[in-house]
Amino acid sequence: MVNVITCSRFALVCPALVVLSGCVGGTGGIPSLAQRPAERAYAAAALPGPATPPRFSAQPDARIMQRTTALRADAARADQAFSTSAGRAARAVATAHDAGVGSEAWAAATIALATLDSLRSQTVLPLAELDQLMADTALSAAAANDAQGAATFAAVAEADRAVAALLRDQDVRIAQLQREGPNTP
């Protein structure tokens, strides 16, 4: 039995030794893994500096810019209405801070917070349209592959970022008032 186990181990080890012996041989037709001159030159090359935003010599599409301006104005009006209402909501929340659930002050603060949520949606609508306009201009700019398309996309993207910032500020204000707000059942 010892002979059979020894033979079977030998039978398993022999093929492994044959395979591994290929790794030990000379370097006859096997390429070296050493770094080549081109690789050294590439590694030594200076890395480019920070990317600068592209400057476009073409003017953005007037029709799209008119729509973008109108959407920004809609968002600004919605934000102004939100800010006015947020002032009233802050006063209602301060009054209701220690009021009991179901009290008149609690109800007024709860309604004021709900009004803020509703006014926030008036800022979301222009942002949604800007998102769609940005996607459309990205596709048309890619298809046209010209400076005007790129300038138009850049202008729409900037307007989108500006309106999104308004919305983030509104979200922060609502969250702050909710934390300070009346107790909820």
Domain assignments of the chain as residue spans, ordered by start: 62-180
Q: Residues for the chain: how many in total?
A: 185
Which helix or strand (DSSP H or E) is residue 9 part of?
helix 2-24
pLDDT attached to residue 92: 86
Q: pLDDT, tens digit, for every residue of 111-158?
A: 888 899 999 999 999 999 999 999 999 988 888 888 888 899 999 999
pLDDT attached to residue 22: 59
User: With a cut of 50, which residues of the chain have pLDDT below it?
Assistant: none
Give the integer Cα–Cα distance in Å for 161 and 153.
12
For the chain, the 3-state helix, strand and coil shares in percent, each to the nearest 5, are: 75, 0, 25
C-alpha closest to that of 60 among 157, 175, 125, 171: 157
Exposure class string for 102-137: b at 16+ Cβ within 10 A, else e = eeebbebbbebbebbeebbebbeebbebbeebbeeb
